[in-house]
Structure 1
Amino acid sequence: MILDEHSNVALLKEIAELLNEETDMERMLDGAINKLLNGSIFETAWIFFIDENGKHRLVAQANLPPALAEKDCRHLQKGGCWCVKRYRDGDLKKASNIIACQRIENALSAKAGNSEGITHHATVPLQSGEEKFGLLNIAAPDTVRFSKDELALLESVAFQIGSAIKRIGLTKQEQELALVKERNRLARDLHDSVNQLLFSVTLTARGGVEMSQDPAIQETFRDIQHLTQEALNEMRALIWQLRPKGLESGLLEAIKGYAEMLGISLELKVTGVIQLPSRIEETLFRIAQEALNNVRKHAGVNDVQLYLSVTSSDVLLVLKDEGQGFALDEGVYLPSIGIQSMRDRAKAEGGSIEWSSKIGIGTEILVRMPY
């Protein structure tokens, strides 16, 4: 027993060192459960994050049996179970043995594969203080219950993971706040310096047209005025992107405001109640910004249709124009129309984006994002 206690202390120390060093959430979770499995009798682990609405999301897993790993862990991804329900109801306070696992039973009933002797699992909440994040589930072959010492080890590991989740979350918030401050500073500097200079050049060129009697000189000043006005419009769009006005009033108001600034007429069609996390709203807004910029620069039209559909699990954003369109080659990188930027933004939030475009017919962009 003394040897086991020493082994557990060494394991907890090893996990703590990893958690203290890691700054990426995904790597931290994967590393922690793999170290736990390698240093204990446990053989399978998975972690659910559970949001304030009680919706669970599989964020990490290690050494799953084929029955649970089948088709991208579909039996862990979908449906309900005892442990998630207890967590939602506030009845799960500490590590608990599970009599049976509904997800494993569903996988076996669907003949999804071999469970490799895993029929039950223990579960322990991940939390830091009063803040809860989700569940750590642990299993071993031919094991229906774990001992008090084994559950105590799970609680210690879960406490460490919960503290690391809180730390990484706070660090990310600080980074995002610093980024917002830097964007605001750049926006102010651009507005106070470059933007004002461009406006002055526009006025000077206009005055040159009125003062000169030479048609060639007048035409030159008109060209300068036109190019400076275009640069001024670009600068205003850049400032808008750095510090979007209206997002605090909601996603639709922000997109409408940006479209008006570009001189684009936006037709809106919305279904569902728009109550999205702030990170999803900003991602959708940035994608819509890029799409509207493309319409102004490349489509040759000023009318855009926007469809927004919100369900209990995801949001669908469609932007459609009847402009010039383009031929999209998936094997070619097209930075000029921001395709890669939009794709990266959607992917970063676990979403997807698709394009449909034909020369002379128009373009349709479809963004689907879970939340």
Structure 2
Amino acid sequence: MPEEAGMQEMVTLKTIAETLNTSNDLSLMLDTVVGKLLELTGLTAGWLFLIDERGEYACVSDYNLPPALIRNDKEPMRTGTCWCINRFRDGRLQHAVNIINCKRLEDAVEFKWGDTQDITHHATVPLRSGERMLGLLNVAAPGKEVFSDSELALLQAVAYQIGSAMERMRLYRAEQRRAELYARLGDFGTALSLAINECTESNALPDTVVRLLGKHFDWPFAALVQQTNSTFHIHAMYAHGEVWTDTPDPLSLEGTRLMDRIVDHYRAAILSADELAEIFGQFRLEFQWGEFASGVGVPLPYHAPEEPGVLIVGTESRSLDLIRADKEVLEALAEHIIASRESLKLADHRRELARLEERNRLARDLHDSVNQILFSLSLTAKGAESMLSGSEPVHPAAEVMRDIRALSQEALKEMRALIMQLRPSGLEAGLVSALQEYGAKQGLQVIADRKGMRSIPRFIEEGLWRIGQEALNNIRKHAGVSSACIQLEFSEREAKLTISDRGKGGAKRRMPSSESSLGLSIMRERAQSLGGKLNIWSSSRKGTTVTAVIPLPYESE
């Protein structure tokens, strides 16, 4: 008899091993192996719980459960707790346990859920692979309250086989997920590069990124969050095929805390479904945050550390292995987004350089043609005026020549100012000195002050130069004064240029269609193109103050 029992155990283990190697589908494999185990051991019912690192469990396989445990879509197996799971969580369940009376079956009897088919007890065997604990295998039979040592040893051996097969499948699924995500990342990178080439504004990047994430990946939710002025705002968000951009409301205090945690972590971080709801729940969107099992957030380390970005995706997966694969790919994806952002900046700089070159060419052409003609016209008019004025009586055309000479000189002055605006000179000595020189040529006494020292990019310096020029032109034309004040102030984050006068004021009352209002609009557009803002304060008694605040890129040591 012992020899026959030994042979039966060998047959059982061999059959289970063959069954475990027939599929890479975990659910199918577990259903098949549980059924085969019960068939070979003469038991009638079995079920298998997987328990994750957080202690959450799921009944992933069952065979021939009694009616009392399958009511309401197997609700007794999905909810509540029991002694075997509690012991597993506490670390007290390390080996096959001879008998544990089943609390779920006791509740079924107590609350009259249905027929238990005379099953009251079950054997519990922990599933493990090495030191990694995976879950529980429970088997039972009607009226059976005792399992022999040989039966427990066989169940333990089978549990080791199942655990090893589950570990193999876990690694296979994680690698399969990783390979799939990297393939999608390649397609995403190609599509993003093409989209960047067509973008004309860096503000379009968040919308483009989330749309491509929704197209190329299977994450049901994605959002780009950016910190500005110490608060986090959603720049773009994707969910179930819809995109939201530039949500004006800042994140809640708890959402900000979670964003800071991700930024300080420097690497991708896993977020629970509750944390996702905490971050985005204040925004009324047409879906429920309970749809997502978890999420992943990855920091976007832009060059300005005081204004970091965060990419967040929501996932329906509960497997930590699959989520870790998502984390790895998200970190690579963040690098793609940062590189694309830098590409957009370089493209903007190239366009700005092209505009500068075109302005320089136009300035040269104006200087060599129209400017020389106006100068010749002024000299000719002066000569004609002298000839006509020298006769007695004075020729009537002399006064006309005088007017022509005055108009030509004024036009020449305006042309030189225009050439100066098109092709700035004197910036080599610094922005403040260049504006002082320009103001002097316009007949203005410019009092300048400077606070702070740091280098700034050429395109920002030229943008401030243009704004300062226009402000000084407005003072010359409209303020009715001969002096102006300029203050240039630098901080770690921004440059602030202030031009003020004690003139007539009234800048804000000018009609939108007027020439002066066009100048104000141009100044505001220049400031906005640099990512900054322009403020104008004007009073009929105290004059006008124009302030341009431009953010500066992070200056590395």
Taking structure 1 as the reference length, the TM-score comes to 0.75
Question: Is 1:62–2:237 an aligned residue pair?
Answer: yes
- Which residue does 1:219 correspond to in 2? 399
- Cα 1:152–1:274 change in 2 (3 A) is closer
Q: 1:359 to 1:159 in 2, by over 3 A?
A: closer
Higher relative contact order (CA 8 A, sep 6+): 1
| Residues 276-326 of structure 1 deviation map (CA, whole Å, 9 limit, x = unaligned) | 333332222111111111112222221111233333323332222222333
Pairing 1:149-298 to 2, within 5 Å after superposition: 149-212=325-388, 213=390, 214=394, 216-298=396-478
Kindly state the Cα deviation for residue 215 of structure 1 after the two structures are TM-superposed. 5.3
SS of the aligned residue for 2:424 comes to coil
Does residue 269 of structure 2 align to residue 97 of structure 1?
A: yes
Q: Distance in 1 between matches of 2:224 and 2:442?
A: 47
Partner of 2:314: 140
**C-alpha distance 217-327 of structure 1, shift in aligned 2 (>3 A):** same
Distance 1:49 1:144, change over 3 A: farther
Q: CA deviation at 1:173?
A: 3.0
SS in 1 for 2:508: coil
Q: Conserved in 1, the CA contact under 8 Å of 2:484 and 2:500?
A: yes
Structure 2 residue 529 is matched with structure 1 residue 348: yes
Distance 1:81 1:292, change over 3 A: same
Amino acid of the structure 1 residue aligned with 2:297: A
Contact 1:11 1:36 survives alignment (8 Å): no
CA deviation profile, 1:326-359 (whole Å, cap 9, x unmatched): 3634883433341111121122223222223344
What are structure 2's unaligned runs of at least 5 residues? 1-172, 240-246, 553-557
Structure 1 residues 141, 70: closer, same or farther in 2, change over 3 A?
A: farther
- Give the number of the structure whose alpha-carbon radius of gyration is greater: 2
Shift of 1:256: 1.4
Distance 1:97 1:296, change over 3 A: same
- Pick closer, same or farther for the CA change 1:144–1:83 going to 2, 3 Å: farther
Rate the CA distance shift 1:361–1:154 in 2: closer, same or farther, 3 A: closer
Q: 1: CA distance between counterparts of 2:214 and 2:406?
A: 67
Does the CA-based 8 Å contact 1:120-1:144 persist in structure 2?
no
Percent of aligned positions that are identical: 30
Give the whole-Å Cα distance in 2 for the aligned partners of 1:181 and 1:83.
Answer: 43
1:43: which partner in 2?
A: 221
Is the contact made by 2:352 and 2:459 (CA closer than 8 Å) also made in structure 1? Answer: no
- For residue 503 of structure 2, give the secondary structure of its aligned residue in structure 1: coil
Among 354, 361, 367, the alignment partner of 2:548 is 367
Q: Contact 2:232–2:250 (CA<8 Å) still a contact in 1?
A: no
Cα 1:48/1:19, change in 2 over 3 Å: farther
- Contact 2:532 2:548 (8 Å CA) reproduced: yes
Q: 2:297 touches 2:312 (CA, 8 Å); kept in 1?
A: yes
User: Is the counterpart of residue 122 in structure 1 residue 316 in structure 2?
Assistant: no
When the two structures are superposed, what TM-score results if normalisation uses the length of structure 2? 0.53
Kept after mapping to 1: 8 A contact 2:219/2:315: no
Instruction: Tell me how large the CA RMSD over aligned residues is.
Output: 4.3
Classify 1:225/1:13 alpha carbon distance in 2 versus 1 (closer, same or farther; 3 Å): same
Q: 1:30 to 1:112 in 2, by over 3 A?
A: closer
CA positional deviation for 1:168? 3.0
2:249 aligns to what SS in structure 1?
Answer: helix
